[in-house]
Amino acid sequence: MFAKNSLGVYLTSRKASLVETAGRRIVKNCTFSFREIESILGPGDEVVKKIAFFQEALRDNQIKTKGCFIGFSSEDLVIRSFIISILPSKEIPSAINFEVKRYIPSSIIEELVFDFQYRPDRLAKKIEIILAGIKRELLKKYNDIFGQLGLKILGIEPGAFSTLRLLRQKKKIEEKDLIALIDVNEEEFNFTIILSNFPLFTHQIKIPTLKEEEISFKFYSEIRISLDYFRRQFPGKEIKKIFLLTEPQFFSLVEGLETEIDVPVEVLEPAVLLDKKDKGLTVSELKAFGLALRSRDLKTITINLYNPKILIERPVEVAPPKITLASINLKVILRSLIAGFFIALLAFFLGYQKSLPLRRELKDYRIRVSSLKIASPYTTLSDLQNIKINFQKKSDEIDREVKRLRLKVTPFFNSLPSLIPEELCLERLSFIKGELRLSGYAYLGDEKKELDAVYRFLSSLKETGIFTQRFKDIRFISIIRSKKREFNITNFEILAR
């Protein structure tokens, strides 16, 4: 039996959105900012202030449902996706428990609790995993807050996944589709790739305090990098469509995305995912609506951080035992030293005995090598001339092969200096088995200008005949931001094959 009423709560660092439902119908919805708490209530205990504000929101909107589902913004969670070999279902939790330590830094792993969802791919003999973690302190804080409010937490999941239920409800995606969902609000972009209703990959992008055109540029760059990463992690999988979920005031930030990434894009306003009788919601409230529907759809997202499957226990610190002179037995120590000496002596003689055959073989080899001569005392002038002729033939063959290889790659190397922009520094070049790899970096003190220089270099390669005749595929393998000493630079690697 489904609960008649349900409450979804979506939380970010700046605000909270609440939606109460009756069945699949929205009854009440509201959003309030945590910044208003500071301006209205002033300084004080954060938990006490949030309890007071939640109480006011519940009272003013007459929300009486006592069970709630919570979704956190990706900035408050650790989300990782990875692949393991196919295993029996009973062994999967222990295998994931082991893999967690490979993907989460050891400095924070003990502060988190984890839950996961998996999708077996029996044809490829692998299991795709999506793993989510939340800090114990944050979990405890909101458990205290909602306990004081008289609300029972029924489940906690990543808020970025909750809108997937609405896409399924409105039949925007088919059972086996590979699609991407981007939701945009004033705080963040969430980019999630979904295969057969399973979130394969997710990436959150915080909206910086920049000009509108700079935000758009960063948005396009981050989406391109995320797509490149996904294609490397899941080769052979192509995205059918991207759903872009946003409110009308943000349309100008994201227009032109389809031409930038060459993937079909369908823009969705929140109203498209609602029934006509439901009033309009923001994207954050839409996520809260998706959370409230969890009670009626337990299969789409099964991650529940309120009931985690993985708990990495903190190691218990044990004080070292105190050693006193009275506890030291000199006779025992002396016997141990004598026994250790004889064991070491025995090990040495056994090792020496084992090495004797090898020593003899090495001695014989040295004698044989020392007896070798380039020519015997009876070698005639004619024999020496034949040796010289054979040597010269081999030398000529090697020279011809070197020249052939030089002629093969020299045109590419000759044309490169004229194609590399002045802003770029080429660090490494290799030509192996018909594949040309170029890697380097750009430093201009401005991420936008650096990315522009890198893309101009790629375009120059694609427009140069000597490269396009030889290589059918010229593309980026990676573009990442990193630090070189105290400077932020843009690293790139290009593959031509």
Classified by CATH at the fold level, domain 5-311 comes out as: Nucleotidyltransferase; domain 5 (3.30.420)
Residue 315's pLDDT is: 46
Picking from 151-160, 385-394, 437-446, which range would have the lowest pLDDT averaged per residue? 385-394
Distances (CA, A) of 324 to 67, 224, 390: 59, 66, 81
Distances (CA, A) of 211 to 207, 218, 220, 253: 11, 11, 14, 10
Max CA separation in the chain (angstroms): 114
Classified by CATH at the fold level, domain 401-496 comes out as: Gyrase A; domain 2 (3.30.1360)
Q: Which amino acid is at 384?
A: L
Query: pLDDT digit string (tens) for 382-423?
Result: 777 777 888 788 777 777 766 666 556 677 777 788 888 888
> What pTM, to 2 d.p., does this model score?
0.61
Q: If pLDDT is split at 50, 70 and 90, which confidence band does 18 have?
A: very high
Q: If pLDDT is split at 50, 70 and 90, which confidence band does 348 have?
A: confident
CB of 213 within 8 A of CB of 132? Answer: no
Q: Tell me the pLDDT of the chain averaged across its residues.
A: 81
Residue 352 or 57, more confident: 57
Can you tell me the mean pLDDT for 314-329? 50
Please say whether the dihedral angle defined by the alpha carbons of residues 159, 164, 167 and 172, taken in this order, is positive or negative: positive
| List of residues 6+ apart from 353 with CB closer than 8 A | none
Residue in this structure with the two tokens 């990782």, named with its chain if needed = 80
Picking from 52-61, 64-73, 231-240, which range would have the lowest pLDDT averaged per residue? 231-240
Can you tell me the mean pLDDT for 332-356? 80
CB of 305 within 8 A of CB of 130? Answer: no
b/e string for 354-372 if b means 16 or more Cβ within 10 A?
Answer: eeeeeeeeeeeeeeeeeee
For residues 263 and 114, what is the distance between their CA atoms, to the nearest angstrom? 33
The ranges assigned to domains in the chain are 5-311, 401-496
